[in-house]
Structure 1
Amino acid sequence: MIHELRIYHCLPNRLPALLKRFETETLRIWDRHGIRQAGFWTVLVGPSNHALYYLLAWESMAEREAKWAGFMADPEWQEARRKSEADGPILSSIENMFLQPTAFSSVR
């Protein structure tokens, strides 16, 4: 199992729009593409409260590439993204990394 950590850094006051997009559109589209989330977090205490952190669970990098490509090309996703950004861009930057569990990790 591979986990992908994605960090979305939002422009000021745009985190609510991002959260709404995930809750009302993105997760439903992910379900259709077989994309599995392992959790979402916002920052309670830390360097910025304008960020969304989330984990995706993948069986392999090949699975990730195929399913993510399908999601990004999905016309429903493209329209949802366009509508959510009608008032302007939401993100200032995105970070992502692929995490491999250690031998002693409780998460495999």
Structure 2
Amino acid sequence: MRNTIMLFSALAILLLNTGFSFAAKGDIYQIKIYHYSSSAQEEVIDEFLEKAYLPAMHRAGIDHIGVFKPRASTEGNKPEEKLIYVLIPFGSQKEFSKIESKLAKDEEFQSAGATYLDAAYTNPPYDRIESILLNAFEKNPNYGVPDLKGPKKDRIYELRSYEGHTEKISKNKIKMFNDGDEVGLFKRLGFNAVFYGEVISGPTMPNLMYMTTFENKADRDAHWDTFRTDPYWKELSALPQYQNNVSKNVTKFLYPTDYSDL
């Protein structure tokens, strides 16, 4: 964990010193994906996130942290995947660059997270952490809190990644969401989106990612049936300028943990 903290702090400082700007305006999102092997590791990660990390992030002014797990045996997920997804929305590059130093000074965080933070090398709490950074889309500059009423255990959070053949082609798909108002279409059809973002650092670039949410699997399927037959989508997807702008679509079906803010 501390090596990860040092890496992202160094990355943030380097990018800021070189004049790089994550985004002109809008949120910055970080998705941390914990890879683990055992139920014992899962328990340690859950306890750390619930009792230490989320409360510390709240004290630091980050109001909503999403914590999700793969929905087993659902199309798009591999049953053997042992993953925990953590979605962190930052309001600015400054907020992102300063968060790790704030956590390092938070004594309550250090104490509550001691089992995880001070784990011995012979008993690591996870196998690896994957991290993805994203800029919010211009058309949807801020994250949303889903308006769902049903039990968390039944909910479907659909995380999609659209990869592009080249940077230019990937930008074209993002333009389809912004200028083509695919974002507006999702909103009109009630997809309860959490975020839309362009990946600026991650393992499958160039790509964009977004997350939509539903009460359950049947609700999810009904929404997509409506989307596919919507007259505006048929018109938009047929436009010549938006053809062949996705090389791979990876879809993950998740559910929120009991302690998730989102």
State the TM-score bracket (shorter-chain normalisation): 0.7 to 0.9
Counterparts of 1:54-93 in structure 2 under 5 Å? 54-83=210-239, 85-86=240-241, 88-93=243-248
- 2:169 matched to which residue of 1? 14
Matched letter for residue 253 of structure 2: F
Higher strand share: 1
Q: Which runs of 5 or more structure 1 residues have no equivalent in the other structure?
A: none
% of aligned pairs identical?
A: 28
Report which of the two structures shows the higher radius of gyration computed on alpha carbons: 2
Alignment of 1:3 onto 2:3: no
- 1:44 matched to which residue of 2? 200
More divergent stretch after superposition (10-19 vs 44-53): 44-53
Distance 2:156 2:164 in 1: 25
More divergent stretch after superposition (25-34 vs 54-63): 25-34
- What's the TM-score, normalizing by structure 1? 0.84
Residue 174 of structure 2 contacts residue 198 of structure 2 at CA under 8 Å; is this kept in 1?
no
CA RMSD in angstroms comes to 1.8
Matched letter for residue 233 of structure 2: W
- 1:102 matched to which residue of 2? 257
Which structure has more relative contact order (CA 8 Å, sep 6+)? It is: 1
- What's the TM-score, normalizing by structure 2? 0.38
